Chains A and B, each alone.
Chain A
């Protein structure tokens, strides 16, 4: 899993790191609709990556979320 995303989910959103495996559903990992907004805000503020909440919410598993965020980070939003 992308280290920046992992640290964001664990340190900022206070998700349990043990629940963050690729097949886990995002809700089961502790992500609710507001956590999706928080994630979108933090990615934008801290990493300059714009991913809409709707797009983030379309990722149903932790693995899918990881791929989505990684793609955007690699696409040049890195600071």
Chain B
């Protein structure tokens, strides 16, 4: 889906928050079980450690933590809708979002999930833009939360090292044209002909055909990124920070090279967080802000690819946020906000 040229109300990024779970898992722990070395994992994925949920932590717990943090960062507690992007909802029914909204003290607002796997955040952002542009909402909380470790086979060398758990959230609001933080058009796409390249069948672990996923990821990320930059009226040379979904450091390198985006303009978090699915882009943005690598006004290109297959990209000038908030996803917080 390439964006139309119609005039729409500007939508501005007004808050960013994150929540990470409690367990850090190092390559040594995973490598010993798989019979591979630490370096084998680093070389193929760029990952040295990942953070995962303990058995008692749910996707909703992660989402509530990140949602509360994003609301705090936005400086205002109310929103008109909550959209949760997740591939690992706690239940087939109900959706995760109403539970999350209620736990955030937002019972009564529109709340639903978006399922687009690792591209979920960008799909959810587009939905939120639609809500705001049509006047259905003034402020929307968009949360990406996943615990893919829960559906990953610890004995599968192709997937066991890859995934970390986590959540990140944006608050987006109606804004003014030219304001920093205005979201650009979102480019979205899918190709279900390759649905079985990356799949979690009911009651089973994830199955991935890695080479096929790699090839499609590189091709589609390059295509979507190019389209999103053009739709925003940018050349790829204008991009000051490129933030791809953190799937694999080698996918990121292959995409950046094809886009002509040199390494110092690429933001990454995969080395310490692993692939955090839909949350990875926003977790990476938060990490970059915390380390002084992302400043207000910088031109940022976001791009994602995931199961479906799905992909998407968008461009924005970075918002002068008051701060990026972090919350734990511990039960104490849940009680507090219930």
Contacts and interface: CB of A to CB of B under 8 A. Distances in A.
Q: Is the interface of B mostly helix, strand, loop or mixed?
A: helix
Given A38-B254, A41-B218, A41-B254, A32 B43 contact: yes
A57 B248 CA distance: 21
Nearest to A40: B215
Contacts of A33: 210-211
Q: Is the interface of A mostly helix, strand, loop or mixed?
A: helix
A53 interface: yes
Nearest to B158: A33
Contact of A34 (B211, B219, B257, B258): B211
B210 A34 contact: yes
Contacts of A12: 257
Interface string A40-66: 110001000000010000000000000
A53 B210 contact: no
Given A32-B44, A53-B215, A38 B210 contact: no
Nearest to B214: A37
Interface string B197-225: 00000000000001100110011000000
Interface in B41-73: 43-44
Nearest to B45: A34
A37 B218 CA distance: 10
Interface residues of A, number: 11
Interface string B28-49: 0000000000000001100000
A38 B255 CA distance: 11
A37 B211 contact: yes
B218 A34 contact: no
Contacts of B250: 34, 38
A19 to B, nearest CB: 14
B148 to A, nearest CB: 20
B43 A37 contact: no
Contacts of B43: 32
A72 B285 CA distance: 43
A15 interface: no
A36 interface: yes
B92 to A, nearest CB: 34
B214 to A, nearest CB: 5
Given A36-B211, A53-B215, 16 more contacts: A12-B257, A32-B43, A32-B44, A34-B210, A34-B211, A34-B214, A34-B250, A37-B214, A37-B215, A38-B214, A38-B250, A38-B254, A40-B215, A41-B218, A41-B219, A41-B254
Q: 6 tightest CB-CB pairs across the interface, nearest first?
A: A37-B211, A37-B214, A37-B215, A53-B211, A34-B250, A34-B214
